[in-house]
Chain A
Amino acid sequence: MTKTFATQLLAALLLAPLAATAAPLSDQLASYAAAAKSADPAFVGFSAARGKTLHTQAFALGKPDTPACTSCHGPDPRGAGKTPTGKVIEPVALSATPGRYADPAKVEKWFKRNCNEVLGRACTPLEKGDWLTFVSGQ
């Protein structure tokens, strides 16, 4: 009895950091999925392919010097990007920057800023989910 409890406690302690890094992103995707479904009942799931298009397409609807996501993030999701002031941006690919999307508030903050700069508007939950699906599979 005591031994089982100790084992469970140990397992919980060991797994806690893993759960902490994996859960926020999947929770966030789930909430974007719910929002996408309520916006369009035909929604069946996010698509990495659509996310890739969103990431690479030149919209030129926001600021002139940032027509696309890749203007700053660079053409390769697994490679680093660079801001106009020369600051290095960690690769967007989750495999290249583990733990990058562990803070939902931070993710939202950058969607707000960057969608505005590239698209001249906020991104929809569908776009956010597609994009996160794309980069987390990279």
Chain B
Amino acid sequence: MKIPVRPIVLAGLALAFSALVLSRAQAGGSHFFPPVADLQVKEECGSCHLAFPPSMLPARSWQRMMGDLKNHFGDDASLDPGLAAKITDYLVANAADNAGQRRGEKLIRGVDASSAPLRISELPKWVREHRKVPDWEWRHKDVRTRANCVACHADAERGYYDD
């Protein structure tokens, strides 16, 4: 029996190439932060604002935030303790300093190990990346707050923050 070597090699090459492109698109080449995949986390953390990717803050920040949901940026977002613990586990497991997230590690670079920032928009790297956005754009009625990622990053819900 004659094995059709050429088609198999070609198919293999094509597959390897697309895998390479995909991995670059997801990890290195673009500003990709895996969106929340857990449905319960998405529901509880994504009703009032975008369910921010856990890889945007270090684990200690998520722990601090989940420990004081009664004062959540001016809102009382308290949850059933069991559910809150489950959500904390998910956020911590996928935090910037825990899941081997290239982008996450970069984003929290320069954050003092003894501090646990609560606002993604106060991370030094975030501030640098957004330094060219003028004040009037932040005040625009369709933006209004730095927590409104989707106002400018159309694909933020899917994890892409390039534009």
By a CB distance below 8 angstroms, the chain A residues around B48 are: 83, 85, 87
| Contacting pair A86 B142 (CB below 8 A) | yes
Q: Which residues of B (127-163) have their CB < 8 Å from a CB of A?
A: 142-145, 147-148, 150-151
By a CB distance below 8 angstroms, the chain A residues around B147 are: 85
| Contacting pair B76 A116 (CB below 8 A) | yes
Say yes or no: is B84 at the interface (Cβ < 8 Å to chain A): no
| Contacting pair B77 A86 (CB below 8 A) | no
Which secondary structure dominates chain B's binding surface?
loop
Contact residues on B (Cβ < 8 Å of other chain), bracket: 10 to 19
One digit per residue, 1 when the CB lies within 8 angstroms of any chain B CB and 0 when it does not, for chain A 112-138 equals 010011000000000000000000000
By a CB distance below 8 angstroms, the chain B residues around A63 are: 74-75
The chain B residue sitting closest to A64, CB to CB, is B74
How many residue pairs at the A-B interface have CB separations less than 8 Å? 32
| Contacting pair B145 A85 (CB below 8 A) | yes
**Assembled-state Cα–Cα distance A86/B77 (Å):** 18
One digit per residue, 1 when the CB lies within 8 angstroms of any chain A CB and 0 when it does not, for chain B 28-55 equals 0000000000000000001111100000
By a CB distance below 8 angstroms, the chain A residues around B151 are: 86
**Assembled-state Cα–Cα distance A117/B47 (Å):** 15
Say yes or no: is A84 at the interface (Cβ < 8 Å to chain B): yes
| Contacting pair B50 A113 (CB below 8 A) | no
A23 CB, nearest partner CB in chain B, Å: 22
**Assembled-state Cα–Cα distance A65/B41 (Å):** 26
| Contacting pair B75 A113 (CB below 8 A) | yes
| Contacting pair B50 A117 (CB below 8 A) | no
**Assembled-state Cα–Cα distance A113/B142 (Å):** 24
B111 CB, nearest partner CB in chain A, Å: 23
| Contacting pair A85 B49 (CB below 8 A) | yes
Query: Interface of B with A (CB < 8 Å)?
Result: 46-50, 74-77, 142-145, 147-148, 150-151
Query: Interface of A with B (CB < 8 Å)?
Result: 63, 83-87, 113, 116-117
New A-B contacts (4) at CB < 8 Å, excluding given A63-B75, A85-B148: A85-B48, A85-B145, A86-B49, A87-B49
What are the 9 closest A-B residue pairs judged by CB atoms, nearest first? A85-B49, A86-B148, A85-B147, A85-B148, A83-B48, A85-B145, A86-B151, A87-B49, A116-B76
